[in-house]
Chain A
Amino acid sequence: MAQIKTGGDGGGRSEPKKYDTRVDFTPMVDMMLLLLTFFMFVTTLSKPQIMDIAMPSDAEIMEDETPKVKESRAITLLLGEEDKVYYYLGKIDESSYSDYTTIKETTYSTRTSNEGLRAILLERNAEAVNQMRELKLERLERGDKMPVEEFNERSNKIKGDIDALTVVIKPLESSNYRNLVDALDEMQICSVGKYAIVDATEGDLFLVENYRTRGAYGEANLIPEAR
């Protein structure tokens, strides 16, 4: 890097030539910045998210310990094959079993459209959704100064309200893991606080089969006792 003595043959006067000793660092800095951005992205993106689930214990639950739910505010989702969702509202009585229109069919909503499952849940849970929206707006106005505890407490109060929607998720054997996660995701989006993953009963399977065959299955088979 330093000075290199050249010449010697060009006449007697050997004036050493001065070279510029500074090295150009620009390419190195460019590369550094690229590497830096790469590592920054990789560290934040590689970490997966988690979705917390709390399942009820399989021990016998005492009758008076079961949470009270208004039947009129309940909706049951049956996750079916090929990304289909069947649903019915409230509790089904004897006469509705034979009617194949008791359950309805819908699809999962996408990020850009609220059609399908989300529209149904939003409509039924409008009050809680609006209250949650106000709460989030309030938090935004206060410049994120609202303590997390206060926010959680208030959102739990809204979601746990007796009139808030209760969703029962029953994945059928033909559904897949993504369907389950999508359904749980909708709970988060639609501010549903009371939901549970429950096994499908024989009654549910009967309803779905009856719906698929447009009532033919119900005529040929008896309504199962258990539901």
Chain B
Amino acid sequence: MTAMSDVTVLLLTFFILTATFLPPEPFRVVAPASVMEIKIPEYNVMTVLIDLDGKVFLNIDRPDVRLQALEQMASEYGVTITDQQKRVFVEQPFIGVPMNRMPAFLDLPMTEHDAAMRQYGIPNDSTNNQFTDWIQKARAIDSDMKITLKADESTPYPIIEKVMKDLVHIKANRYSFITVLRGAPEGF
């Protein structure tokens, strides 16, 4: 009995330590189901989150890349970000405000971030496409970063199409849709 409880404790510790926590998303998304069994990579992934109104949010899982991209974006858009704001930025998993609002957003307390972010999203219209800028910056730092798209299954197609066209436009032709697993039909 003692041996068994020893093993259980060890296994439990192992699973607790290896459990990776998904970055909290600013809103809930029900991903569509598919029979694909390939798991999302552990590391070096960008996730584009699309809401039902077509607002886009971006998560870059590596904090170093995220920070470098922010510095480049800040200098390009003429925004100054203080060191304190940079620290807050690294803590927040999702990017979801226009660059001109970034400093004010980062000064807000963390608890108000999600609500503030939901109002804006990253601008992705043809005249002011900061969304593709972010992705280009991140890919310039590490071209191996995988791009994944996450959207609710009821999102109208034109909204998805817009993001897909944007990605192809910046020559990011290979990307992935995030899906949840469902069993393959009998016999396949």
Contact = CB atoms under 8 A, between A and B. Distances in A.
A153 interface: no
A2 interface: no
Interface of A: 25-26, 28-29, 32-33, 35-36, 39-40, 42-43, 46-58, 79, 109-112, 114, 118, 171-182, 184-185, 188-189, 197
Nearest to B18: A43
Main secondary structure of the interface of A (DSSP, over half): mixed
Contacts of A36: 8, 11-12, 15
Contacts of A189: 35, 184-185, 188
Given A40-B15, A50-B176, A53-B176, A177 B155 contact: yes
Contacts of B36: 49-51, 185, 188
B88 to A, nearest CB: 26
Given A25-B1, A39-B12, A185-B34, A53 B156 contact: no
Contacts of B148: 50
Nearest to B154: A176
B173 interface: yes
Contacts of A114: 185
Among A50, A118, A179, the most chain B Cβ lie within 10 Å of the Cβ of A50
Nearest to B21: A46
Given A50-B39, A55-B168, A177 B153 contact: yes
Given A28-B5, A176-B156, A48 B12 contact: no
B188 A39 contact: no
Nearest to B173: A55
B154 A177 contact: yes
A39 B19 contact: yes
Given A53-B174, A181-B32, 11 more contacts: A39-B15, A48-B40, A52-B38, A58-B168, A109-B185, A110-B185, A111-B183, A176-B153, A176-B154, A179-B157, A181-B179
Contacts of A47: 39-40
B35 to A, nearest CB: 6
